[in-house]
Amino acid sequence: MYNQKMIKLGEERSDIRELFEYATARKKIVGKENVFDFSLGNPGVPAPQCVREELERLLRETPSVALHGYSSAAGLPEVRASVSDYIRTRFGAEMRPELVYMTCGASASLTIILNAILNEGDEVVVLAPFFPEYRVFVERAGGKLVVAPTDEKFHLDAEKLRPYLGERTKAVLLNSPNNPSGAVYSEEEIKSLAALLKEKSEERGEPILLLSDEPYRELTYGAKVPYVMNFYDDSVVLYSFSKSLSLAGERIGYIAVSPKCEGAETLFSAVCGAGRALDYVCAPVLFQRAVAKCLGKSSDVGEYKQNRDILYHALTEYGYECIVPEGAFYLFVKALEPEAKQFCARAKKHELLLVPSDSFGVSGYVRISYCVERSVIERSLPAFKALIEEYRK
């Protein structure tokens, strides 16, 4: 009677959401302090001061309609201009305000761009491990998700990707810093990808787009995140302030189409059309104004780094295997048995809530979100130790 695909999607829930709901229920039973919830990537470090200051100033000085009314679908012209200026000055890339579209976060940026570019059956190539919602977003836009492998450190290897680019490839979707591996793809890696995409686009006589999903751009521990537009013409950046400014619940981000894209204006029209078709009336106006004054700022990355260091050092000392995350706030740890789901079930008995890697497109790992309060990490360490000891018995 109703849409079967939607019913299935609603009932399935993601592994991550499922675990988060379990954590909420479990805390009521055994006490908040006894559950180690590493499920969601919900930023625990407060938004930087500039956000609060700007919100307070806006509320004091701006008429209500200019804060809470509609804006143009693509966003306030002055905000689009600020984003465009920022991209030009910070990254040295070409940009124009008319090619910036303000959105309700990265999820909206992804949904809109995918609906803008995909025809039924077109393929979008992602690198494993990848954010599980990519599958939902691509399939709902009528596309097919194609999963390509990375190297042993979860880094981009263009030659490993090559066989996955075919006749129907419309775009390659990258996410660096990566959720869940923490890998930050280097300039060399981006350059070799750009060369491959250029070669394949020429062969096909049609550009393959490079979509860069960048909610973690500012959250790195020393690694530099190359700006894709500087290396490949047919690029679109999908940005979100959810993680960088700890504004995940406010739903604010943008799409920036490179002016060097073939038919950039037409692509932008398709973005506007998809926004309209998907009912994205406009991004929240109060937050459009606030983020325009906080571009390039971020929450205290030092806090995440300390969390990362405590967890990484303790876990590797106990005997767990993992790669040091270069960015984002996730630790990707090898499960202690081949089936990650079974390992997570055993971890749950120690009140450790970890996400199995299967929905990220690789098997045998778990994701630990370390954007939590420091005390949760510290209190969880004996449980991680007990868990590995249990496997050694």
Name the residue nearer to ligand PLP (CB basis): 95 or 106: 106
Cβ atoms within 10 A of the Cβ of 58, count? 17
Nearer of residues 179 and 258 to ligand PLP, judged by Cβ = 179
Which of 181, 212, 220, 242 forms a contact with ligand PLP (CB under 6 A)?
242
**Least distance in Å: CB of 36 to ligand PLP?**
19
- Which residue's CB is nearer to ligand PLP, number 84 or number 107? 107
Cβ at position 244, least distance to ligand PLP in Å: 10
Touching ligand PLP, residues 41-70 (CB under 6 A): 41
Closest contact distance (angstroms) between CB of 180 and ligand PLP is: 8
Give the shortest CB-302-to-ligand PLP separation in angstroms.
21
Matching residue, tokens 């700890």: 246
Nearer to ligand PLP, 150 or 179 (CB): 179
Tell me how far, at minimum, the Cβ of 347 lies from ligand PLP, in Å: 21
- Three-state helix/strand/coil letters over the chain: CCCHHHHHHHHHCCHHHHHHHHHHHHHHHHCHHHCEECCCCCCCCCCCHHHHHHHHHHHHHCCHHHHHCCCCCCCCHHHHHHHHHHHHHHHCCCCCHHHEEEECHHHHHHHHHHHHHCCCCCEEEEECCCCCHHHHHHHHCCCEEEEECCCCCCCCCHHHHHHHCCCCEEEEEEECCCCCCCCCCCHHHHHHHHHHHHHHHHHHCCCCEEEEECCCCCCECCCCCCCHHHCCCCEEEEEECCCCCCCCCCCCEEEEECCCCCCHHHHHHHHHHHHHHCCCCCCCHHHHHHHHCCCCCCCCHHHHHHHHHHHHHHHHHHCCCECCCCECCEEEEECCCCCHHHHHHHHHCCCEECEEHHHHCCCCEEEEECCCCHHHHHHHHHHHHHHHHHHHC
Q: Is 327 in the site for ligand PLP (CB under 6 A)?
A: no
Regarding 213 and contact with ligand PLP (CB under 6 A), the answer is yes
Residue number with CB closer to ligand PLP (114 or 387): 114
CB nearer ligand PLP, residue 156 or residue 387: 156
Q: Out of 105, 132, 325, 361, which residue is the one contacting ligand PLP (CB under 6 A)?
A: 105
Q: Is 75 in the site for ligand PLP (CB under 6 A)?
A: no
- Residue 338 beta carbon to ligand PLP: minimum distance, rounded to whole angstroms: 26
Judged by CB under 6 A, the residue of 102, 106, 197, 336 near ligand PLP is: 106
The reply on whether position 131 binds ligand PLP by CB under 6 A is yes
Indicate which single residue of 44, 215, 327, 361 sits in contact with ligand PLP (rule: CB under 6 A): 215
- State which of positions 167-196 bind ligand PLP (CB under 6 A): 175, 179
Binding footprint of ligand PLP on the chain (CB under 6 A): 41, 105-107, 131, 175, 179, 213, 215, 240, 242, 248, 253
